[in-house]
Structure 1
Amino acid sequence: MWVAVLVATVVAVVVATVALVTVRPWTEEFRHGGLTIAAPPAPVKPFPQLNPASASAPEPSRQGLADALSHVATSPDLGNFAGSISDPDTRATLWSADPDKPMIPASTLKVMTTAAALLVLPPDHRLTTRVVAGSAPGEVVLVGAGDPTLTAQADGKGYYPDGPKLSDLVAQIRAAGHPVDTVVVDTSLYSGPTSPAGWDPADIAGGSWAPIEPVMIDGGRLDPLVEYSPRSATPALDAGRRLALELGADPAKVRLGKAAPGAAELAHVESAQLRDRLRDMMIHSDDVLAETIGREIAAATGGEQSFAGAASATLTALKAAGFDTAGVTQIDNSGLSTDDRVPARLLDRIIAESAASAQPGGADPGGTAAPSVVDTGDTAAVASPLAPLLDYLPVAGGTGSLAVRFVDGGPERSGAGWVRAKTGTLSVSSALAGYVLDRDGRVMTFALMSNDRPPEASRPALDAVATTLRNCGCS
């Protein structure tokens, strides 16, 4: 009370007289230096650890889950909705809504790409970009191998962590003593169009994708340090032009061509390992990486490195592992095409198998046989070959495409840190496919797909369903 009066009086005096007021310490402790400031606390030392989910956690019941989801799963904001929720320990489907209906998956299709890559490629697989001697004196050929992660940044730190450096190619060419006045770019590894049906060309300037060519710098980004930087419409030629510039050749003379068989190699650089590129693709939903990895899948299985060849190879790998791909129409490997169609059942089943062990789970009580992606000849529990997929999923409220979701003050905040899922967003589709640990300590996998609603409405509705699973003690 007295402080309020004093402040009011000081203000009144200042206003009335424009006098200089000296503010003095409020207490004797301040006046005589009696106030002490405690030493800062010792820094907290984190102890990161991985703990398995409880083996004795109760299994959610179908009825308990249905009751918990009765309101959030019927929200009008979900629009045309399909979903599937499973228990990976038993491989049982616990809840579903139109799980076989083909839906626009958006970027959740990358779950299929990742699974197929893990099934047919070693996790340490790398791509080698080469420069070879051309057919004319002073000519070199940049041979694309499917790696879009090269960087021309002076410090070598481009958009992609551990991306190979253009400067290393330049240094090797100079060390070889090969004079250069012309650079040719060989993109013959890939065939067919550089973009498929259902991709919006406006998204090149919007920063979502660049034409899919087998050599790029920073995924075709014009600004290599900005995720959604506008992209180049000619990324392979741009890579050749930058190489020419660094070698002192004329960038205007760069053209497309083909390396001669057996041409002498002058330089080469290697991509990051597949496991690292898959993680980047999933965490940041990188469409260009998804398409180039799709072509790696095609190459590993003897297919054509094109949109059609990559899609076919992906589905073939999943079918060979025992997954039911009925209802799938796959145009690309990123989910960018509005013509893609995937049932929620398949996405949920892939993630459930990723979370399952090799211990035989038997037939799904709902009637779906467990896919045979693992060798069950040994009765000991062994991680699924798809298990790395779980580590590639964004964390709600923490990483990648989920970093800014589950963070507002609403009830969805309780899902932060617990939900891990691949997102999917187009103007006509939102989806979420991943897993969560419920309140009882049980893992549940899910695929939730909404079509025909704008993302600003459907994404919060999907997040509410995932959060309900986290808060569920539905046994």
Structure 2
Amino acid sequence: MGLGRRIGDTLRLPTRRGRAILVVLVVLALAAAGGGAVALQSPKLLAALGVKGASPVDAVMLAPVPQLAALSATAPTPSAAGIASVVDPLSRERALGQFAGVVVDPAAQRGAAPLWQLSPEKPLAPGSTAKVLTSAAALLTLDATDRLSTKVVAGSEPGQVVLVGGGDPTLTALAAPKVGTYPDPSRLDDLVAGVRKSLPNQKIISIVVDNSLWTGPLLAPGWDPADVGAGNITPMVPLMLDGGRADPTLQDGPRVGDPSGDASKAFARKLGVPTSAITKGTAPPNAKKLAEVVSAPVSALVEHLMTTSDNVLAETLARDVALSRQADPSFAGGSQQVLAALSQAGFDVAGATMVDGSGLSTSDRIPPRLLGAILGAAAAPTGPGQGVEFLRPIVSGLPVAGGDGTLDDRFDTTGAAAAGRGVVRAKTGTLTGVSALAGVVTDADGRLLVFALMSNGQSPALSRPKLDGIAAALSRCGCR
């Protein structure tokens, strides 16, 4: 498995008039492998690429273009002593506070000892690295092609419809093609259009909102209500727009205090029903379905929540795991079933305690051993007959150091962690006094390594750069 930039980059070739023509780069593997430059001659090349009407340009010599390719299966495996010689000195930094971690070779046999470990069984507050557990449980329990839905059914009275929350936080009131923060969102406009198509000659008089899919409190134990206004979370109900964001385009913008109320009012306005005609209730048994819209598939949602650390989406998937396992779709039920699903899949969850699915709670505890085991399985090489890569979206969704997601502003170019930029991919975890970093890195010999690093009891301003430094040191290390 190769981890790098995507194929399909473009090159701008300047014309003599100062304009730019976009030319799709065709990567010539033989030329690149031979280390030679590729000459682009115009106008013949431009004509061959279908670019017409361009002025002739002089020949342009290009250096070989990096390719997205699999890592070598024969790359040397680091030794435990080699890894220890690099990581041990860095792990003794006082700025790390209570520190524990593991470094794992994902190509090793399952159950093999880590290449490096320090207090691997010690349960520590994980912050958002807990999303690794929730994502894994979702991918192991649900079908990767499953989609979350919102539907409207007929009410018990003429002219009444029921808006049924199905736990899809990606539902948006934005008109196509506009999008907020979620990939391929479901749309309120499509839901309204479906209702009108099903009831072409009937005036809608009233709307009932059904939020009965989920149970329990709206905020988890250990959550700070101030986190709603701070943009970290919204009260968890199965009907909301854009994850409860006040501004659907802001990933970390303030959330609303009544996401279901806002969603139902937007639906009423689009349907031409007074908001005063909205009531709370449940759908009649066997009610006729009038319209339904669905989210992007679960695999895409997992990638998104790993990249952006979306708390609402993580909590949603935890409840879906509970529902699939016929358990209570609450904070308690979701977090319990996440651990149960992982245990059923063969992961040792001893020492793990979760009260939510996002890691936002200060009551969550996870040993780094478990994080390393899950990421090791997600990053393990596969071949013919070895089964579907169920957990792979966890790795493909990991933020890139210095590039995107929650790592876009870390691994500074002038700091000790600069060597990790573009090479380290990891899930972050940050709370007051909590820092964690868990992901994958390619070492100097081209070997893919998995790491899980956890720090408690220190300010993230002090501990996060130290975690970044350890991950970057692994990228520079052959460690043999």
- TM-score by length of structure 1 reads 0.85
CA distance in 2, matches of 1:290, 1:381: 28
1:407 shift after superposition:
3.0
Residue 128 of structure 1: aligned partner? 149
Residue 219 of structure 2: aligned partner? 195
CA distance in 2, matches of 1:452, 1:120: 34
Residue 391 of structure 1: aligned partner? 396
Residue 442 of structure 1: aligned partner? 447
Relative to 1, partners in 2 of residues 1:130 and 1:309: Cα closer, same or farther, differing over 3 Å? same
CA distance in 2, matches of 1:398, 1:325: 32
Relative to 1, partners in 2 of residues 1:71 and 1:295: Cα closer, same or farther, differing over 3 Å? same
Residue 162 of structure 1: aligned partner? 184
Pair 1:110 & 2:134 matched: no
Pair 1:86 & 2:138 matched: no
Please list, as runs of the form range in 1=range in 2, the aligned pairs for 1:229-244 lying within 5 A after superposition.
229-244=253-268
1:44 shift after superposition:
7.2
Which 10-residue stretch deviates more, 127-136 or 154-163?
154-163
CA distance in 1, matches of 2:113, 2:89: 23
Pair 1:63 & 2:81 matched: yes
**Alignment deviations for residues 154-210 of structure 1 (CA, whole Å, 9 cap, x no partner):** 334233121111011111222222322222210101011111100010000001110
**Partner letter of residue 57 of structure 1?**
A
1:395 shift after superposition:
0.8
**Alignment deviations for residues 416-440 of structure 1 (CA, whole Å, 9 cap, x no partner):** 1110111111112110110100001
CA distance in 2, matches of 1:181, 1:190: 27
CA distance in 2, matches of 1:201, 1:207: 11
Relative to 1, partners in 2 of residues 1:383 and 1:419: Cα closer, same or farther, differing over 3 Å? farther
CA distance in 1, matches of 2:442, 2:387: 20
**Partner letter of residue 129 of structure 1?**
T
Residue 62 of structure 2: aligned partner? none
CA distance in 2, matches of 1:105, 1:148: 24
Residue 239 of structure 2: aligned partner? 215
CA distance in 1, matches of 2:302, 2:245: 19
CA distance in 2, matches of 1:142, 1:308: 26
Relative to 1, partners in 2 of residues 1:38 and 1:136: Cα closer, same or farther, differing over 3 Å? closer
CA distance in 2, matches of 1:429, 1:410: 21
Residue 151 of structure 1: aligned partner? 172
Instruction: Name which of 109, 119, 122 aligns with 1:98.
Output: 119
Which 10-residue stretch deviates more, 62-71 or 80-89?
62-71
1:215 shift after superposition:
1.3
Residue 10 of structure 1: aligned partner? none
CA distance in 2, matches of 1:400, 1:358: 27
1:70 shift after superposition:
2.8
Relative to 1, partners in 2 of residues 1:236 and 1:94: Cα closer, same or farther, differing over 3 Å? same
Please list, as runs of the form range in 1=range in 2, the aligned pairs for 1:288-307 lying within 5 A after superposition.
288-307=312-331
CA distance in 1, matches of 2:306, 2:186: 20
CA distance in 2, matches of 1:312, 1:74: 34
CA distance in 2, matches of 1:463, 1:157: 33
**Partner letter of residue 465 of structure 2?**
P
Is the CA contact (8 Å cut-off) linking 2:180 and 2:250 kept in structure 1?
no
Residue 416 of structure 1: aligned partner? 421
1:310 shift after superposition:
1.0
CA distance in 2, matches of 1:451, 1:210: 26
* Identity between Structure 1 and Structure 2 (%): 47
**Alignment deviations for residues 217-237 of structure 1 (CA, whole Å, 9 cap, x no partner):** 000111111112211111112
1:465 shift after superposition:
0.6
Relative to 1, partners in 2 of residues 1:252 and 1:229: Cα closer, same or farther, differing over 3 Å? farther
Which 10-residue stretch deviates more, 441-450 or 84-93?
84-93
- TM-score by length of structure 2 reads 0.84
Pair 1:430 & 2:452 matched: no
Is the CA contact (8 Å cut-off) linking 2:138 and 2:321 kept in structure 1?
yes
Residue 325 of structure 1: aligned partner? 349
1:458 shift after superposition:
1.1
Q: Aligned Cα RMSD in Å?
A: 1.9
Residue 460 of structure 2: aligned partner? 455
Q: Which has the larger radius of gyration?
A: 1
CA distance in 1, matches of 2:458, 2:388: 38
Is the CA contact (8 Å cut-off) linking 1:355 and 1:384 kept in structure 2?
no
Partner SS state of residue 183, structure 1: strand
Is the CA contact (8 Å cut-off) linking 2:105 and 2:450 kept in structure 1?
yes
1:325 shift after superposition:
0.4
The answer for unaligned runs of 5 or more in structure 2 is 1-15, 28-65
Please list, as runs of the form range in 1=range in 2, the aligned pairs for 1:272-421 lying within 5 A after superposition.
272-357=296-381, 384-421=389-426
CA distance in 1, matches of 2:279, 2:125: 38
Relative to 1, partners in 2 of residues 1:267 and 1:100: Cα closer, same or farther, differing over 3 Å? same
Is the CA contact (8 Å cut-off) linking 2:128 and 2:358 kept in structure 1?
yes
How many residues get paired? 420
Instruction: Name which of 63, 68, 80 aligns with 1:50.
Output: 68
Which 10-residue stretch deviates more, 228-237 or 207-216?
228-237
Is the CA contact (8 Å cut-off) linking 1:237 and 1:256 kept in structure 2?
no
Is the CA contact (8 Å cut-off) linking 1:241 and 1:252 kept in structure 2?
no
Partner SS state of residue 216, structure 1: coil
1:58 shift after superposition:
1.4
1:129 shift after superposition:
0.9
1:253 shift after superposition:
3.5
1:257 shift after superposition:
0.8
**Alignment deviations for residues 77-111 of structure 1 (CA, whole Å, 9 cap, x no partner):** 11111101111112430111111011000100000
1:246 shift after superposition:
1.1
Partner SS state of residue 268, structure 2: helix
Partner SS state of residue 92, structure 1: coil
**Partner letter of residue 145 of structure 2?**
D
Relative to 1, partners in 2 of residues 1:169 and 1:381: Cα closer, same or farther, differing over 3 Å? closer
Which 10-residue stretch deviates more, 102-111 or 62-71?
62-71
Pair 1:73 & 2:91 matched: yes
**Alignment deviations for residues 318-374 of structure 1 (CA, whole Å, 9 cap, x no partner):** 111111100011101100000000000000011111122468xxxxxxxxxxxxxxx
Partner SS state of residue 215, structure 1: coil
Please list, as runs of the form range in 1=range in 2, the aligned pairs for 1:14-53 lying within 5 A after superposition.
45-46=24-25, 47=27, 49-53=67-71
Partner SS state of residue 107, structure 1: helix
Relative to 1, partners in 2 of residues 1:169 and 1:65: Cα closer, same or farther, differing over 3 Å? same
**Alignment deviations for residues 227-273 of structure 1 (CA, whole Å, 9 cap, x no partner):** 12211111112111111111121223323211111112221111111
Partner SS state of residue 78, structure 2: coil
